Amino acid sequence: MCRANFALSFALAACLIYAAPGHAQPSPQLQSDLLRQGQQQLRQGKVSEALTLYRQELANHPSSVAANNAMGVALDLEGRTSDARKHFAKAIEAAPNAQAKAAAERAMAMSYAFDNDCANTVKYERMVIAYWVAEKNFYQQGEMMTEAARVCLEAGDLAAAAKYYEMGRDTGLKEPGIQPDRVSLWNYRWEHAQARIAARRGNKALAEKHVAAARALLDKDPEMAKAQAIFFPYLTGYVALYTGDARAALADLAKANQNDPFIQCLIGQAHEKLGERDQAVQAYTKAYATTAHNPPAAFAKPFARKKLAELK
């Protein structure tokens, strides 16, 4: 499920533009302008133009945490994941504190997610989790476990996905003084995950059982439902798609977040199953336009690239 803190890695790195040790700093205005211009280009989908600006920044600041993270993100979006990881490694090495290092490690985890590499995504997410363990932040520990689980699910490692989704729920519930709506949130996410895993295993009855449990949690906790109800049609659409009802999947996915590249890929797959090539291409084209660096984008960008090459 999409969450606002998916952008944490890049946001934290951006705060560290001037923090790279061991390098004389030229004009901070020049440095910040290059990165700001690059980010603007990236938001507009102009990845090549952003890379040019980031290269200029790195020519002056080869150990800049922010510039290396930015370069890594842009290279991942281009499909050059091996090159991207060289820059994330530099950002990890140059990070001036534990928080910045964790942000760069999380970006590295997402780079592996662009390759559907569950094992290495988990490896780096566990490093991020170690940071949150030191901070005694159980919520963020659970968030990172859930993030890894989602990558593993879409990579096809259902056992790993189930393991980390459950660990995320159990860890999140350890939060001291946890509020009732947060308890409901973790239980809802766990039911949501179990339904998707069951659907991927072809167990329609079990998937529907967990869908019903997720619905019941939303109905029981209106406060939690305010933020989480949008993810329910994503769930029902996902289950319908993977249990053989593409038409029902489209109907449900039409109620989900239409700006989510992962949802756009699910819509594309449903149209493909129905033989609706043009609509599938349209959905995949939207998904491919994403410039995010998070689990939905990590699946959608390479998947849409592959599908568009097959269909056009």
Over residues 38-42, mean pLDDT: 95
Is a pLDDT exceeding 60 seen at residue 14? no
Higher-pLDDT residue of 16, 261? 261
Alpha helices in 116-157 (DSSP H): 118-134, 138-155
- The region of weakest confidence among 17-21, 68-72, 259-263 is 17-21
Read off the pLDDT of each residue in 89-108 and give the average, rounded to a whole number.
97
pLDDT at 11 over 80: no
State yes or no: pLDDT of 1 exceeds 70: no
pTM of the predicted model as reported, rounded to 2 decimal places: 0.89
Assign 25 to helix, strand or coil: coil
pLDDT at position 20 over 60:
no
Mean residue pLDDT of the chain comes to 91
- At 65, is the pLDDT very low, low, confident or very high (cuts 50, 70, 90)? very high
pLDDT tens by residue, 266-296: 999 999 999 999 999 999 999 999 999 999 9
Q: 10 Å Cβ neighbour count for 212?
A: 12
Predicted pLDDT of residue 312: 82
Instruction: Report the share of the chain in percent with pLDDT over 90.
Output: 89
**Start-end of H helices in the chain:** 8-14, 28-43, 47-60, 65-77, 81-94, 98-113, 118-134, 138-155, 158-172, 180-200, 204-220, 222-228, 231-242, 246-253, 261-273, 277-288, 295-311
Domain boundaries 1-115, corresponding CATH code: 1.25.40.10
Confidence of residue 142 (pLDDT cuts 50, 70, 90): very high
